[in-house]
Chains A and B, each alone.
Chain A
Amino acid sequence: MNTGNFTSQVEASFLFVFVISLVLLIGITVAMIYFIIRYHHTKNDKPKDIHGHLGLEVAWTVIPTILVMGMFYYGLVGYEKMDEIPEDAMKVEVTGRMWEWKFTYENGTTTDTLYVPVDQAVDLSLNSADVIHSFYIPGLKIKRDVVPGLNNHMWFAADQSKRYDVFCAEYCGDEHAYMYTQVVALPRESFDQWYAGSGSAAPQVTSADTAQ
């Protein structure tokens, strides 16, 4: 299911490596089991010293090289997009501190849940008040560290109206596991209404599916 601007590409990268890995893993495992049965000493008591085979060794140097270069390329293409923040992105200041998140919008509104319009690019400006945290939205398959003294940025666009979990992904002390909030992606009109009212009433997600 496609729920963010990066998800499909991350999933494609995963699938690419996963399929190659699965084929190779099955190949290796089946070969081991087959050899053990076929060349068990009860069936084969005359072993043969084979010191190597140039063709094979070249093959299993070259083929993995090609495969991993393919993986590298896949990752690079997907990552380039994560690094380029669109001009028209909506800007939100994010402050992480032990152990809570605070969001400040351009009109001065502050919240502890992040409200965004669906299909809108959002540019998060990440700052930490104390130690390193990491802003992680698993549903959108994106994260970035929140480092004191370093103003990192990350961006995303949610393409479904629902709630997404947000975890702190960099260990930050006692309550690290409770440094939790949500991204709530709203239909454009609901968002505008809420934003104009400066967060007077917390908006609701209409869609039934929450979290994940």
Chain B
Amino acid sequence: MASHAVDVDHREPNYLEVRGRHDGILGWIMSTDHKRIGLMYLFLLLIFFISAMTLGFFMRLEQWTVGQTLMDAKTYNTLFTVHGVIMVFLVVVPGIPATLGNFFLPLQLGAKDVAFPRLNLLSWWLYLSGALIIFLALFYGGLPDTGWTFYAPYNVRTTTNVPLAVFGVFILGFSSILTGLNFVTTMHQMRAPGMGWFQMPLFCWGLYATGWIQVLATPILGITMLLVLVEKTLHIGVFNPAIGGDPILYQHLFWIYSHPAVYIMILPAMGIISEIMPTFSRRTIFGYKAIAYSSLAIALAGSLVWGHHMFTTGQSFTANVIFSLLTFLVGIPTAIKVLNWVATLYKGSIRLEPPLLFALSFIFLFSIGGFTGLMQGVLNLDIHLHDTYFVVAHFHYVMFGGTIMGLFAGLHYWFPKMFGKMYQKSWANIAWALQLVGFNMLYFTMLVMGYNGMPRRYYDHLEYFNFGHKLATVGSWVLISGILIMFINLLHGLLKGEKAPSNPWGGTTLEWQIEDLPPLENFDEIPEVHGGPYDHNTEAEVAK
């Protein structure tokens, strides 16, 4: 992608040096610069991630022996609930759009900022507030023990502070809606001259499809959470059968949002993989349009499959059959993406750098997530697998192996553009290898246990599951050490890393054409775009 060269002599201070109306911390928490907002999201999000990971560590430790190992049942139930709530609502849902999306969407579009910078800052504040409200429950009535799904009518029976957590989730929903609205508008209005829809980088396409789901599906979560609050405070029967409500209605409403939310989580990660594959193959992406359209297809089909979470609830035979059929339809655009990524390596000139390694492990782990998803779409098989460790392992393969590995890949890819420094590649590779091994030791074992009948959300297990549990626990240690090494390495790179070149990987999209770190408004002069986003070799020829 050609753009006007940046005039080096008249460079403005970069976004980290720039001095605005406020200094110090206020210069961050009051900043409307999309790059600073992106980093603020990243900061909070990584803290939440590491906290929830620590809870996961203790959950696995509890399963080391039959009977009590460390904690009582109630504590364990609270741990998996809080782990799930943090990981879903505070980590993977805001996830990539709020962090890397905020930072790189305007850069990739050749825009000065997002369409509504102040709304963007408000989204961050809502995110922080929602999180704080959830954690307030720690001091008022106790954190919830319902599982992250808050199923009725247990949500009424429990003595823990469900309303507060539910209200927090409600607030987080607004943050998500506003981000989606902001991004969709930005892509409609602010693409650089010459950038048609199909010259837009695929990361943007992922964010575009995500944005629509955020705007359309999240209000349903909001309404559901409000109804839970109304029921709990005013005792009007909505979901609780004891006062005339319908618990299955709750599940429908919950999954009408929460299933599409799975695609909110994964589409941006897929976008990152679509950036990394061409860059490190030094060639254009294979099947650009197929990948772009399949994002939309996934968003659309994914909105119609929520009932596959409810095959065992006793919903009608016809409903089960239709939801099963639709579920399989989602598999098709997903398969198309995976195959196009692999084909992008063909006849490339491959550099096996850390971002590519993370992208490859994304493809591998996410594929397992996809295949196990197909197994759960098979009606008679899901009757057996539902609510076992198989499901737990499946969604970790998708959300962790997919979304989080995609985030890690993106962090390693864009780190030099965000901070102008480079981490140590050898340590990044070691961290990657440990993660890949530990991940499979933990979650593949859980797949096997699930197929053998180990139910999920179980504080304790029968003797014959103990070997599997021990193996999975050791796997969690390997995985977590890989993650910690990775974070230490990135932190070290941030503080002491060598200065990175402007375009260390030879990327072709607009963000890489900016000299050093981007200035406050990104481009001294709005670039003009010619050709596709990943034309590596045409450009090289032009240069000759």
Contacts and interface: CB of A to CB of B under 8 A. Distances in A.
B157 to A, nearest CB: 6
A75 B377 contact: yes
A78 to B, nearest CB: 3
A14 B447 CA distance: 13
Contact of A169 (B154, B382, B386): B386
A75 to B, nearest CB: 3
B151 A75 contact: no
Nearest to B76: A177
Interface stretch (B165-173, B252-260, B531-539): B531-539
Given A147-B247, A148-B242, A165-B462, A130 B157 contact: yes
Interface string B327-347: 011011001101110110111
Interface in B125-148: 145-147
Contacts of B290: 52, 57
Contacts of B282: 41, 47
Interface in B439-477: 451-453, 455-462, 464
B218 interface: no
B153 A35 contact: no
A72 to B, nearest CB: 5
Given A13-B381, A14-B381, A57-B290, A35 B151 contact: no
Contact of B77 (A46, A74, A174): A174
Contacts of A83: 317
Nearest to B537: A49
Contacts of B145: 173-174
Contact of B73 (A28, A48, A177): A177
Interface in B266-302: 281-284, 286-290
Nearest to B352: A36
A44 B348 contact: yes
Interface in A136-191: 136, 138-139, 141-145, 147-150, 152, 165, 167-178
B457 A171 contact: yes
B345 A71 contact: no
B162 to A, nearest CB: 13
A1 interface: no
B460 A72 contact: no
A131 B288 CA distance: 49
A103 interface: no
Contacts, number: 266
Contact of B288 (A40, A52, A148): A52
- Tell me which of B336, B363, B456, B458 has the highest count of chain A C-beta atoms within 10 A of its own C-beta: B458
A141 B347 CA distance: 47
- Tell me which of B286, B324, B348, B360 has the highest count of chain A C-beta atoms within 10 A of its own C-beta: B348
Given A29-B364, A36-B350, A174-B74, A51 B288 contact: yes
Interface in B338-381: 338-340, 342-343, 345-352, 360, 363-364, 367-368, 371, 374-375, 377-381
Contacts of B220: none
Given A25-B367, A41-B351, A79-B379, A167 B453 contact: yes
Contacts of A174: 73-74, 77, 145
A149 B241 contact: yes
A169 to B, nearest CB: 4
- Tell me which of B153, B320, B340 has the highest count of chain A C-beta atoms within 10 A of its own C-beta: B153
Given A142-B383, A171-B154, A177-B461, 18 more contacts: A9-B380, A24-B367, A25-B367, A28-B342, A35-B350, A40-B352, A48-B283, A68-B332, A75-B380, A75-B382, A79-B380, A130-B153, A134-B312, A134-B387, A147-B313, A169-B386, A171-B151, A174-B73
12 contacts: A13-B378, A25-B364, A25-B367, A49-B536, A53-B343, A75-B378, A82-B383, A131-B157, A145-B312, A171-B457, A177-B458, A177-B460
Interface of A: 6, 9-10, 13-14, 17-18, 21, 24-25, 28-29, 31-32, 35-36, 39-41, 44-53, 56-57, 60-61, 64-65, 68-69, 71-72, 74-83, 98, 130-132, 134, 136, 138-139, 141-145, 147-150, 152, 165, 167-178, 211-212
The 4 closest A-B pairs by CB, nearest first: A138-B453, A78-B380, A75-B378, A149-B241
